[in-house]
Structure 1
Amino acid sequence: MSWQFLFDTAVANLTAALTTTEGIIAAISAAIAGAFVVASTFVKTMIPLRCLAVGSNLGFLVYGALHPSLIMLALHATLLPINIFRTAQMVKLTRRVSEAAQASDLSGVWLRPYMRNRRYRAGHVLFRKGDKADHLFFLASGRIEFVEIGQVMEAGRLFGEIAFFAPDKCRSLTARCVTDCLVLRIDELTFKQLYFQNPAFGFEVVSLIAGRLMADRHRLEAMVAAAGQTESVSHAT
């Protein structure tokens, strides 16, 4: 079977299809779907890629229904809901992170759908100073103490993020449960998957962590200033 025969057969089939309204619609749908597939090779981020995939699925669905082609119809009927779900999931994540950044919300609550939860008894040590930081944490309930500085953290806060992104990835403090705690965590692999699927997510996370560092710096400066005032008063008296 020669290439010329295959080409002539394809042209004959296309010509026959274009003689009917259904055939014309099917051909146009296939052409649009093909254009979406070609366009998807030029995009660099996941959300536009998923949107183009949804468009191509719809085009090939119409083609498969009108041509008809059962295999193509079944294939794209399966892929369409998957692509719609993944697109909606990434758009929702982007919106949550953007809203958190605009509101200067440093709690990290928007990460909860992507984290796994685990309960710990009072006295349990989540990590020790010097341990490798392979997880980012969110305290859903309970209280956690950072032993070296004697600071107790209440529920509703993200923690462990500094070491998670530090060059040496080592914990600078020990975290111990003061009460029974519900702790959510996300590992590095899951975080990287979220980042590569949606770079806007990674950018906003960096902004939030920078905000947390600035807040810690301002708190430290206020403590130093307060200590200086106390010392000045004691010398004056």
Structure 2
Amino acid sequence: MTWFEAIGWFGAVLAVTGSAMKTIIPLRCIGIGANICSLIFSSFTGNYPSIVVNLILLPLNSVRLYQMLGLIKRVKQASKSDLSMEWLKPFMTRRKTTSGEVLFAKGDSANCMYFTISGRYRLKEIDIELLQGQVVGEMGFMSPRNTRSQTLECIEAGEVLSISYDEVRQLYFQNPEFGFYFLRLASERLFSNMEKMEEEITRLRAELPGVGSVQKAASA
């Protein structure tokens, strides 16, 4: 067996191994190795169709690997900072909103989440106004029934970015590490909302004695 035949067999083993990979980054790495081996073997054997195919697949696998590594880097940076999800913007679709528009209502079926760019928005049930550059609607993705727990209305025209849950799932299945950091971000948002709720409950309890005194004074 010649050395280039050995490389050809090694490339075949890599191709089979790549088919068994469950995550995208190892698959791309093994695919690049298989492409290089196949190119070397095909060059010495004069297999021109194989040369053409691998010349196409090699840069394609390299670009996809670079994109996925960049995504993971951005996700890691986001997970170590605040609740911003700037890294997700390239995967989202821009749309305009009008004053009075209800982007989603409590109890609706949830199928996407939003990133506010401009304008003003309010979560109706808890009366919280969202600032620009905030993500909203991601909790519906975590809900067992995928339903909205709040109503989001636009109170001043602007623009938002949206991404469907199907696209989020695709990103997750392409790389489970993305899913891990997404869950972490969503968990941070959940705990933040719980803290706000506890603060509001504490505030209301502190106001109750004053309300009672006013009522007694009025009845007297």
Common fold: TM-score over 0.5: yes
- 1:74 equivalent to 2:27? Answer no
Partner Cα distance (2:8, 2:122) in 1: 61
Q: Match for 1:133: what amino acid? A: A
Q: What CA distance in whole angstroms lies between the structure 1 residues aligned with 2:205 and 2:107?
A: 32
Cα shift readout 1:5-45 (whole Å, capped 9, x = no counterpart) = xxxxxxxxxx6xx4xxxxx3x32431331231233244321
Runs of 4+ displaced beyond 3 Å: 226-237
Cross-structure match for 1:206:
183
Structure 1: give runs of 5+ residues left out of the alignment.
1-14, 19-23
In the alignment, the residues of structure 2 paired with residue 199 and residue 70 of structure 1 have an alpha-carbon distance, to the nearest angstrom, of 37
Q: Confirm whether residue 147 of structure 1 aligns to residue 148 of structure 2.
A: no
CA distance in 1, matches of 2:85, 2:9: 44
Aligned length: 214
Greater displacement, 223-232 / 27-36: 223-232
In 2, Cα distance between equivalents of 1:62 and 1:41: 21
Counterpart position of 1:21: none
1:56 to 13, 27, 34: 34
**Equivalent residue of 1:178, what SS?**
strand
Q: Supply the AA of the counterpart residue of 1:111.
A: L
Q: Distance in 2 between matches of 1:130 and 1:229?
A: 32
Mapped to 2, the partners of 1:173 and 1:219 lie a distance apart of 15
- Structure of higher CA gyration radius: 1
Q: Distance in 2 between matches of 1:155 and 1:102?
A: 20
Where does residue 86 of structure 2 map in the other structure?
109
Deviations along 1:81-133, one digit per CA (max 9) or x if unpaired, are: 22112111221111211221122x21222111111111112222111222110
Q: CA deviation at 1:230?
A: 4.5
Q: TM-score, normalised by structure 2?
A: 0.88
The letter of the residue matching 2:34 is: S
Map Cα deviations across residues 189-222 of structure 1 (whole Å, 9 max, x no partner): 2111111110111111111111111111122222
Instruction: Extract unaligned runs of 5+ from structure 2.
Output: 215-220
